[in-house]
Amino acid sequence: MTGKAPTGRSIAPRPGILDITPYEGGQSRIAGRDAAIKMSSNEGALGPSPRALAAFRAASETLARYPDGGSTALREAIGARFGLDPAHIVCGAGSDELLGQMARGYAGEGDEVLYSEHGFLIYPIAARAVGAVPVKVPETNLTADVDALIARAGNRTRLVYIANPNNPTGSYLDADALRRLRRGLPDGVILVIDAAYAEFVTADDYDAGIALVNENDNDNVVMTRTFSKIFGLGGLRIGWAYGPAHIVDVLNRLRMPFNVSTAAQAAGIAALADRAHQNTAARHNAAMRARMTEALRAAGITVPPSQGNFVLARFSAEAEAAAADAFLKDCGIIVRGVAGYGLPESLRITVGRTEECKAVCDALTRFMAERKAGATGGQSRG
């Protein structure tokens, strides 16, 4: 796929673009089946707040009108909810848009953009789109390595993207580690903290990035957040960034004037107001994540601790992960292969509703038991 796409005889896009491996979302259907349990895209298990749905429907009355290009009321609602100055917030069509605009604003041809080994695949896409060089920095124990990132940052480095917690590993950097990373990077490098899963974190030494943005005198930290995960609004595309005024200004110049639709703004505001729904979703996730981790470990699968709304199931080999994936599909369950993240022996499983979590754990327990029986019986089940 890289560099092989057809070009016109004399027309070629800018350098880097044909090196992009297009992002593939989690699968949502199984051939030959009408319904499936979808645990492949980290969508909020409980879906959106009914209040968000009502606001979305009400917005249908005003669709002839352009949205508020500044997402003013949504930024005010976000500010009120998280204790932030709305002037330091910019909204996007998903946080993906804002992550991409950061690269557009601050990196160019020949510049380097750092991300950690098993980091989110949008980062290298964002880098290549502007002709920059994405640099993958090795992790330690499936966790971003602060010292390695600091050591690798050089003259050409413009941005460091960190997903915290990270998808698909579920690991996180605590507030001190993140602060140490910021202090160790050159002042001219912007640290972008992608906190898409912040609302699911239960570790008490975690900071989503707000404290680091606020306390950082050099104005070189940005945090991004999303309504796609705990708020269950992935289909509406709403994200936001919080950062220093000069970076918010750049993002506001680069983004398209009406990047967040009327319906998205209205639903986002209503979703924020439903604190009970968010609390229920967070409690559900913490309980189910623990239960899934325990059940899969009991089945003989390695599961690193996760702070997200997913767990990483690690098998003994790539072929075992592929067999488990096929077994789950036979059971009508879709999970996410993560070979693209350098983890071919693993599957990422989103925390779903209670019965969905039970179904995937039961299926994998059966799978592991069959593999074991096959192994002791000396049969191979290719």
The secondary structure of 278-345 as a DSSP string is HHHHHHHHHHHHHHHHHHHHHTT-B----SSSEEEEE-SSHHHHHHHHHHHHHTTEE-EEEGGGTEEE
Shortest distance, position 382 Cβ to ligand PLP, whole Å: 33
CB of 118 or CB of 371, closer to ligand PLP = 118
Collect all residues with Cβ–Cβ distance below 8 Å to 174 and sequence separation of at least 6. Answer: 203, 205, 206, 207
Helix, strand, coil shares, percent, the chain, to 5: 45, 15, 40
Report the alpha-carbon angle 126-129-133, nearest 5. Answer: 75
CB of 48 or CB of 94, closer to ligand PLP = 94
Shortest distance, position 352 Cβ to ligand PLP, whole Å: 16
CB 253 within 8 A of CB 59: no
Residues that bind ligand PLP (CB under 6 A): 42, 94-96, 120, 163, 167, 194, 196, 226, 228-229, 234, 239
Shortest distance, position 304 Cβ to ligand PLP, whole Å: 16
CB burial of residue 323 (10 Å; 0-12, 13-18, 19+) = middle
CB 92 within 8 A of CB 113: no
Residue of 76, 78, 32, 92 whose CA lies nearest to 238: 92
Shortest distance, position 16 Cβ to ligand PLP, whole Å: 21
Collect all residues with Cβ–Cβ distance below 8 Å to 200 and sequence separation of at least 6. Answer: 165, 229, 230, 282, 285, 286, 289, 307, 308, 309
Residue nearest to ligand PLP (CB): 94
Shortest distance, position 317 Cβ to ligand PLP, whole Å: 26
CB of 27 or CB of 365, closer to ligand PLP = 27
Shortest distance, position 76 Cβ to ligand PLP, whole Å: 20
CB of 195 or CB of 212, closer to ligand PLP = 195
Shortest distance, position 367 Cβ to ligand PLP, whole Å: 26
CB of 195 or CB of 295, closer to ligand PLP = 195
Tokens of 103: 């690269």
Q: Supply the Cα-derived Rg of the chain in whole angstroms.
A: 21
Shortest distance, position 239 Cβ to ligand PLP, whole Å: 4
Tokens of 149: 């990132």
CB of 120 or CB of 242, closer to ligand PLP = 120
Shortest distance, position 365 Cβ to ligand PLP, whole Å: 27
CB of 40 or CB of 42, closer to ligand PLP = 42
* Spatial distance between the Cα atoms of 334 and 59, rounded to a whole number of angstroms: 33
CB of 105 or CB of 232, closer to ligand PLP = 232
CB of 289 or CB of 371, closer to ligand PLP = 289
CB 199 within 8 A of CB 309: no
